[in-house]
Structure 1
């Protein structure tokens, strides 16, 4: 019995006479400890330490009732057993007090202690169960409830159950499933009540169920129902486990694992014992049968060691030695030689134990696992072939690998894959040579044919249910000319069927079916993947960006390979759930909240964009430029959402490095300009005094040089500051910003024209500087009264500024953005360099080309423009 040591207090009402009983009780169970006292020695401490009290007294003794009452008073909750000479049924019924838990009559046949031991173990087990019920129930790691099988009502629930369902304990107790869960198709209160009654009548069971939470959402659970005696009444203990997140592929994997378990049959197990001191080895007959030796064969320890494979003997010897010296049990897999010379795989378990006589013996089991090892080798090869299937790129390639696997790995020589051609025929994509040899041609299955083979293949394909044909002669299934006598047909989803057959009847046992079904399931998964990749590859998987598709409610329905590989998730694990529950948004709470906000804004037709930190499956953290774009139909209704993410980690790192360098540059420029301005100011002051005293043209040249030095210093500072990154962006209007900048520039007779307009995000101040420098450049170089045009580029990829002047020769266009490059006597050569710095700080590109009228045209690209309220 489980539960540890049982302490029995044996109370003798007369002279000590229980030694024989106590000795036999303790000999019968190593876990039993018996303490014998006379009736005058019973106290609260002795009963408190006991798991059971046995009173050895005669019912007819006048002092018996007094003794029993005294014992019960001292040990209120401990089971009390009356062990008596009186065996009369009438006497027992009339004389035994109601508070006695069990009555065991003495029969004097030398087996009294066995009957007494049975009652003690039963009572202690029941008492411990009842005592620990509340503590175990409340501390259970799973959600549990106690149900009344008669009424279906909740009698008790633990905290985990409340957390899972959303109901409080008070809301559940006394109510039925109908009252707290509602009626759902297939999962009604009547069915729940029926399950409770079945559990009481037939025993424990496990079912899948759908519970409705308090908030109205549904949760799929696995419920285990067990009958239990609680407070003397039969109840049903229900434990539930949330399995809502298990997707279809996970269920398929679970089914594969179940098939694997079915293929691993339990072989016969034999027992053995090794007496260390006597050096004697004993076997049960089952071990002799496994090794093929006569049933009267007497094993010898040293000779037995020689039966193991030479490579395994050191493992066996070491396991035995450690068991003897350290008392360590062992579990090893080794090869043993049978009498026919063949080696069989054995799983050897051993556990050192000391008997009552103090002798050390190692007892254990030996299990023939040869078949299991063979299956494991086959499974290992099947898994290797599965990787080939997953890597295959086309349905034809998948079919050939699957058929080759069936023939070479699963030893199914008559096998074929037949795929739906879309025109009513399941065409043979791949078959073994044996199929061609025995059937005579590569078989196709016509939807309109009345032949049984064609009909059977299409029935399996359309129903999605496999078929086993055990004997075609008995079933009358196939044409009499066919050599096929048994077969298996498995559906391959929406793709076709897998067929394997034999020339002999009843050739497909449980193991063959399990492996064939596993191959069919794996092939289906590979075909699904190939179809999915062909369908979406051009859209999703030809880019390094993270891309996906979402329902308008935020449910992710597709993600490209780049996104999935980064977080080490399968498509099934990532899709089918809200965006904020997907792996990419588990960085922190603010990230998940941003995902919710993005979905809400996109649902209303708004484009969302922000920087998002994510952590990949290997722990790598990156910063992404995340956006969520709504897709609308012709009525403006949002039908899809397109999430995209671009890895900008390196860009951010470069920006940080550039910021640092620009700060250093600005500091340097400020120091230099300060050191230049001080002597320049002194020189300018003396120059002013000289101009007041002397009228000399040479002094005017000096003044012009001073002014140019001032301009150079100002542009040097401006250029240094334009290298820093953009701190704040706002939506700006192209035309309005251009007009404001135009008013701050000395434009003389020049004219500004806004050809087209749009909006985009930018730093308004620095964007204004960009336009000012482009306008100054146009006024300086475009001749008299030029026209400067601003507009949106075709395709909406940015904007442009152009003039109608002489333009810039092609050979000089690559140099115009170089610092100090100028063709004007008054220019500093830094204006266009500043323009380039501002564009780069925004993440844009700028280039110079020829305008429509032959002038200079500056195009700024990489800008997300919105024209007429739409992003283009």
Structure 2
């Protein structure tokens, strides 16, 4: 078993083996006398000595060489079998170089030859003490090294010893060097990779060096954090703690310390700081009112919004109680509710906050119970719901209006809900107004809650579903006009189905329908009337124009043979009849409404119309910059009739070649005008000029300005007769749509 203790100092147990019992006692006595630390046990045989070593711990063995059972060398070898490092001093009277050599070879700790006199015991005691202290020191050092190795091997980082130079070359590296840096410890110890030059981040080298040197100059430990670059190029944050190593003269010989990876801690700290900043920003900049109060209901913090809303400074609000600002509660109610809450619970309720000036307003409060620094606190987030309540009241009012309009509308209205049915959708009736019931003969009680196929017969169900599905799939209104076989009878229905889109999804369809059966009947009657009018115009053209052509042809033959004023009169009458026919046909065929509108430049239209009128004695000035929205053909007819009116009336007042017709823009931008410098129209006649058959000449049809009025009305415009700037007649056309 192991012998001796592991600590220096204290008593030294010595086993003295010598076959001379008297010498053994003497030696023991002197050894204990010269060194009080020695506790000597003497035996006379090696067998007894081995038994003693097996039974008890000793710090040293002192043995004679020449003994009956075994000599000192053999005894040493026997001791070494169980106690390989136990100090063994060979104290022999038989001294020779051979014995000394054998003893050393056998691993003796010390060799001392017996002499005469008592001084030898002091030398022996000193040899024993030195041997034991050396062994104890070695054992203590070994134990420290073992513990250090255990500590280093289990540290979350690396330990080092290096020279205090800018590159910090490593002399010793232990621990998790490779896990930390990617480099083996031997690589750094050999100088193949230099810590300060290749591992410390370039941007951190100078600051790290300065911090370490400042601590060393002050004789203190140092702590630094910096970044390193690993073998694979990753960046890590490390924390280092170290100190200087000094020699006996106080000179710095190097640095030793510990380095560990704090990347995750730094990231956690950074996230914590970032989250803290976000929470603080949210707290201070929240559009909601936020306060924190303790378990006694006392407000300990409040954000800017609640201070502004309540009219308090922050210091004024902090310290008040919850029931000081909530007019609807009291201390007992607050504490009772909050004491019943568990950590993490959230309660929602409505309250009424009271401002510093005494006014109140409704709020919605979300209250959460938290644990802050081991104490229960409450976070209250409140929102002013005055506008929401006003909106809800407005929605209720609008709902009542909607229901009133829905029920009393003259058109038939219905509301369908879009309901998912597997991979398909169905349309379920939710509302049907009275007008729809009367029109269709269907009762809301019979179809509300049903799909089209459930509510109607198969044909009508398919008919209505087709429009509803088209509206749903196209996500836009769908118009229809069709004969429906309702219980009330077959009617022509004109309607529109529109989608209701909520959050990007079509949730409902709204339908508006109208019975247009009578309208369609009137439309067919008007179409028949129009066809008869067309037929009349064709008959007029055929039955009147053809005989007129014959009469004109024969008249021309007569005029070739003789010159007669009467024949000229007949020719004039024919001309008037032709004009009358043209005007009647124009009135019959151009219709009441202009629908085919284009962008038309007014000056160009005037030039084209002027070219179709006999204007040898007149001049046109097209002084317009307008582009108007008009039916180009009808605008041309309008201008032709106005030009013809000006030229024909100017011909009655010579000189005939001085009439000027001007087309220009009205100053207020509402339209344009056509004016001449002829004799004008008397005030009393201006109200009648647009009447049918009204004319101031014997050969006029009286239809020209009537056609103008019809064409103006067809466009939705207005026309007015005024005096021209040069004394003639001015026609102002207003309400004209100007093209951009």
TM-score past 0.5 threshold: no
Q: Tell which structure's C-alpha radius of gyration is larger.
A: 2
TM-score w.r.t. length of structure 1: 0.29
TM-score w.r.t. length of structure 2: 0.33
